[in-house]
Structure 1
Amino acid sequence: MPTTAAESQFDELGSLYEDVVDWPFRRDIELPAVLHSLGDLTRSDVLDFGCGAGLYTRLLAGQGARRVVGYDESEGMLREARHREAKEQRGIEYVSQLTPALAHRFDVVLSVYVLPYVASRDGLRQMCASMARMLRPGGRLLALPLHPDYDPHSDYYTAYGFRLVSESPHVEGSPVRLELRVRGVEADVTAYYWSRGALEEALHGAGFGPVFWAAPWPPGLARIEDAPTVQRAYLRRPHAAMLDCRLARAAE
């Protein structure tokens, strides 16, 4: 498993990431869209790949998943997640390594904002292979990378609590600084831009079949014009995409 460029970046951000569920674009757009896409999980074993402080692992458990495992390389993030699990006793497992005992044990892998933090093409291929290795034959991956068509103007997403800053927007492998600004707290992390072609090449190489692309979209919303005014700019140019694919051949 490759070390992402962000591993050390996130060690001190666990408590901040607990708060971002309250950001309107996540609460009202991203989270409902992801859970709606995942659907019924009652017979599914699910791995949250890059679980951070455990936001999605808790939601997956709440959706009735049969088994939920959260994996992250950041000990700071896992510390927050485990602390919450110790209090709530949801039955979620948290791990810092993908051991052979976990390989081919999951029906679904969810990976939210993990692929953007790989700094090289080889790392991207290795990460996709690692996710594939965790799935049973025919298993499903739902991943949220940086949207290849995100708006390159740095201030476009300011109303949503963050900025995306790049000296070379939309250039393969170029750094993109994510500036988080919420409740008086400031934190910056560095992500990397990957095109549709690069992402699909890495996924196909790992054994996944056709990749279906979608933008995060609130369930039941028919048109952007029907959304609250504050959501419309984000819905027009979301900073994240949703990639949905299934394992077409056994991962090595």
Structure 2
Amino acid sequence: MSATAAERQFDELASLYEDVAPWPFRRDIEVPSVLHSLGDLTRSDVLDFGCGAGLSSRLLAGRGARRVVGHDASEGMLSAARQREAKEQRGIEYVSRLTPELEQRFDLVLAVCVLPYASTRSELRQMCASMARVLRPGGRLLALPLHPDHAPDPDYYAPYGLRLVSDTPHAEGGALRVELRAAGVEADVTAWYWSRNSIEEALRDAGFGPVFWADPWPPGLARVEDAPPALHAYLRRPHAAMLDCRRARVSG
């Protein structure tokens, strides 16, 4: 599948995604939540869908996954990921295409901040179908889309280094500008809003079962007030959600 305009916007942003990784909402909320949800990966073959420069792929390898393949349509992102792999030799494979040889080869697909870059309903369906094809029957998808109930005020997330700017924040398929502004980072990318219903419909059409939604929540945290005060607003209304579902098993 060729890169869309939405995907090509990332070709020059590989270093930016490395810079964003240590931001507190990612380091202290998002990453711990994902790793806790994934659990033991030692017997799992995992595909990092929309791997970017390979941050999540490296986390998966560090958790002992049996096989890790990172997939991205952006050649700029893949180049950065491959350069790092050449130095560190973690055993991660990086691919720009999901070839037939990869179909039904994985126990888990991780898709961090990928679904919002489907610019049309057709692209959303294609993305979900691609993730389903590489999973074995019963395989799991863990994805972090834009939160369907994200705060409409563009300044709500400004203390966390990002703004979500849109004249119609929750309009189905509506474009919004994601502004990244912190720690020397300054970049804008375009994302698209999809409701729970639209995402679930696309996943169901791709052959996934029931979808379970949750907000990112660090393991061991009992209540918002127990977190550092600077993270309270984000925990109450995160900009990304976590969805969990499985590819249906073949009957008969």
Structure 2 counterpart of 1:27, which letter? R
Alignment of 1:1-252 (within 5 A): 1=1, 3-249=3-249
After TM superposition, the runs of 4+ consecutive aligned structure 1 residues lying more than 3 A away are: 1-5
Q: What secondary structure sits across from 1:84 in the alignment?
A: helix
Q: What secondary structure sits across from 1:6 in the alignment?
A: helix
- Measured in 2, the distance between the counterparts of 1:185 and 1:191 equals 18
Q: CA shift at 1:5, angstroms? A: 4.2
Q: Deviations over 1:88-112 (max 9, x none)?
A: 0000000000000111000000000
Structure 1 counterpart of 2:92, which letter? I
Q: CA shift at 1:122, angstroms? A: 1.1
Q: CA separation of 1:82/1:144 partners in 2, compared to 1, >3 Å: closer, same or farther?
A: same
RMSD (Å), alpha carbons: 1.0
- Measured in 1, the distance between the counterparts of 2:187 and 2:4 equals 18
Q: CA shift at 1:183, angstroms? A: 2.2
Q: How many residue pairs were aligned?
A: 250
- Measured in 1, the distance between the counterparts of 2:172 and 2:241 equals 16
Would the aligned equivalents of 1:147 and 1:241 in 2 still touch at CA under 8 Å? yes
Structure 2 counterpart of 1:31, which letter? V
Q: CA shift at 1:185, angstroms? A: 2.8
Q: CA shift at 1:19, angstroms? A: 1.4
Percent identical among aligned pairs is: 76
Would the aligned equivalents of 1:33 and 1:216 in 2 still touch at CA under 8 Å? yes
- Measured in 1, the distance between the counterparts of 2:155 and 2:182 equals 15
Structure 1 counterpart of 2:85, which letter? E
Structure 1 counterpart of 2:146, which letter? L
Q: CA shift at 1:3, angstroms? A: 4.0
What TM-score do you get using the length of structure 1 for normalisation?
Answer: 0.97
Q: What secondary structure sits across from 2:37 in the alignment?
A: helix
Specify every segment of 5 or more residues in structure 2 that has no aligned partner in the other structure, as ranges: none
Would the aligned equivalents of 1:4 and 1:118 in 2 still touch at CA under 8 Å? no
- Measured in 2, the distance between the counterparts of 1:228 and 1:28 equals 10
Would the aligned equivalents of 2:137 and 2:247 in 1 still touch at CA under 8 Å? yes
Would the aligned equivalents of 1:2 and 1:126 in 2 still touch at CA under 8 Å? no
Q: Deviations over 1:141-172 (max 9, x none)?
A: 00000000000101000111110000111010
Would the aligned equivalents of 2:69 and 2:92 in 1 still touch at CA under 8 Å? yes
- Measured in 2, the distance between the counterparts of 1:122 and 1:74 equals 20
- Measured in 2, the distance between the counterparts of 1:183 and 1:136 equals 41
Would the aligned equivalents of 1:2 and 1:123 in 2 still touch at CA under 8 Å? no
Q: What secondary structure sits across from 2:21 in the alignment?
A: helix
